[in-house]
Amino acid sequence: MSKRVACINLPRQKDAAKKADVTQTIIDKNIVPDNLKALFAGKYFYIKTFGCQANIRDEEVMAGYLTLVGMKRTDNQKEADIAIINTCAVRENAEEKVYGEIGTFKCNKERNKNFMLVLAGCVMQEEGIAVDLLQSYPWISLVIGTHDVHNLLNLLSEALRRKQSLINVRSFADEIIENMPSQRLSSYQAYVNISYGCDKFCTYCIVPYTRGRERSRAPEDIINECKKLVDEGYKEITLLGQNVNSYGLDLKNGTTFASLLESVAKLGVPRLKFLTSYPSQFSDDMIEVMAKYDNIEKWLHFPVQSGSTSCLKRMARRYTRDEYLEKVRKIRERMPDIALTTDIIVGFPGETEEEFADTLKLAEEVSYSAAFTFIYSARQGTPAAKMEQVPSEVQHERFDRLKALIDVTTAKHSSTMIGKTFDILVQGPSKRNSEVLSGYATNGKLVNFKGPAYLTGCIVPVKILESHVYSLIGELAEDPLVLKAKDVAFLMSKDPLLKEYLALDENIRSDASIKELGDALVREKKAMGESFMDKDIHEAHKAEYEKVLEAMKNHPLLANRNELMSLVEERLLEVRDYLR
Ligand code: 5AD
Ligand code: SF4
């Protein structure tokens, strides 16, 4: 390794399998190093993320740290002073995209000697990758592992101080970091991590090596984060874990995912969902909680991976085909309208035609409302990579057959929606036509309909008119202006300041001492009016009246209201500007 590069930690796949006895929670202090601030305050950062929601959440956190430095986000790669490529390793094609991406930042470095390129995410957790990258692409300043997102600022600062490129990728982590800043990508949809890592070690999967063993966040930290989002008026929360159903097992205090889900549902967020479920650990309690709360979406992503018991065994999935189908039966018995989606891997090592036929049969039987289908991709260091591989042509041919079947079940599910009205969370104007809005129904389906862009972020009723395989077409079932007004009313009802003001107003109305003062004020005013012929008596009442007035001015509740009033006025002006 040249002097230009310093390795603080390098990944070792063996370390990733180690499980800590206890997980420590560390509260991050959000300290910003001076040298970073001096160089980058007021400058721009750019982040490109590949992969799943865990990576998206990491992007939001890294953006949060860079915002602490005083930096601003840009979508224009060319103007970036710091750029982060946040990589995904789950399949080979995702990994390949990274290499093309790194090259495009060379000119940033040529134009701007202070430019820093950071490589983050799951690919960096693979043995050997980071060192090779730094040798091929000398304009990389930092390679950071998934366990060190909270160390982003320190590491950037250290790289500057040493005038070297740094690699810091740990494979083992026994901690959970709380109080990380975050700049969320949406103001109406939020992801909340409930656990990190995975203990399942499915034989095809690289995630346990790139994200480490499973560590659950404390329920109170999750609930506080969700409560804050509810107070900020978020419309949808997605609870995230590689395997949400094993949430809490490591806390060893009886906390389960079902109990956590119920606590979050009770906070009253309009839409609540979770990713990803592990079929055999999806408990009866989960079915009950899902059925009980209207705000929990009646959509379950239920990855089967294969419909063949023998293939599932080679995948080290801990359920059989029949056990999976039995879970589906139970779920549908309690929630007949639930939409089920899945992940399926085609061409897993050793997959026979009979095994694949079992997958087709299962997909048809469950009749998924949508499915993500993947061609098996060998991941270095995973057990399946050493098994007997299925030829690529066979994989592709099976993939096409499965895809055709999934298209049929997807279309079948979509067609059942025609004529019905669904609540749609609007994502904004569609890319192809600015007059058409796109949004998601609570069953996960994408719906397009004509409407104004100001409905972005609102939940609106849409009647479904037509269905296509991957999307539906509908029409707004209410006047868009009325819907916007309802949305503003919703947001105002969540505003902590307005809530405080209304609560205070309620206290003032029921406060006996204020009522007494009010009565005295009316009494003295009346007495003043009646005594204007007698100067002395009139003056006495006037003095009394003024005394009461003064007492009212000094009453703590009333004084508090006056103070809040000016803030409320400011907030109402913000609402006016929002509506303009
Ligand atoms: N090859 C293909 N697909 C994979 N997945 C995970 N690992 C692999 C792999 N090596 C799929 C699984 C998982 C989804 C997120 O990605 O179906 O559920
Ligand atoms: Fe990977 Fe299996 Fe864990 Fe999912 S449950 S992240 S597929 S190891």
Q: How many CB atoms lie within 10 A of CB 526?
A: 12
Is residue 263 within a helix (H) or strand (E), and if so which, with residue range? helix 257-266
Answer yes or no: is the C-beta of 202 below 6 A from any ligand 2 atom. yes
Q: What is the pLDDT of residue 177?
A: 97
In this structure, are residues 23 and 175 in contact, taking their beta carbons and an 8 Å threshold? yes
Which residue stretches of the chain have pLDDT < 70?
1, 94
From CA 283, how far away is CA 307, in angstroms rounded?
A: 20
Beta-sheet pairing, 446-450 with 436-441? antiparallel
Answer yes or no: is the C-beta of 342 below 6 A from any ligand 1 atom. no
Query: Euclidean distance between the first and final Cα of the chain, in Å?
Result: 58
From CA 279, how far away is CA 274, in angstroms rounded?
A: 13
Q: What is the pLDDT of residue 140?
A: 96
Answer yes or no: is the C-beta of 205 below 6 A from any ligand 1 atom. yes
From CA 316, how far away is CA 306, in angstroms rounded?
A: 11
Answer yes or no: is the C-beta of 243 below 6 A from any ligand 1 atom. no
From CA 144, how far away is CA 146, in angstroms rounded?
A: 7
Query: How far is ligand 1, taken at its centre, from the CA of residue 580, in Å?
Result: 46
What ligand has the least distance to the C-alpha of 387?
1
Quick: pLDDT tens for 418-455.
Answer: 999 999 999 999 988 999 999 999 999 999 999 999 99
Query: How far is ligand 2, taken at its centre, from the CA of residue 279, in Å?
Result: 11
Atom of ligand 1 at shortest distance to CA of 377?
A: 1
Q: What is the pLDDT of residue 1?
A: 61
What ligand has the least distance to the C-alpha of 200?
2
From CA 153, how far away is CA 112, in angstroms rounded?
A: 20
Global pTM reads 0.90
From 50, 56, 91, the mutation candidate for ligand 1 (largest count of ligand atoms within 8 A of CB) is 91
CA dihedral (466, 472, 478, 482) in degrees, to 10, reads -160
Quick: pLDDT tens for 338-395.
Answer: 999 999 999 999 999 999 999 999 999 999 999 999 999 999 999 999 999 999 999 9
From 206, 242, 379, the mutation candidate for ligand 2 (largest count of ligand atoms within 8 A of CB) is 242
Q: What is the pLDDT of residue 506?
A: 92
Answer yes or no: is the C-beta of 207 below 6 A from any ligand 2 atom. yes
Give the residue carrying structure tokens 């050493």. 386
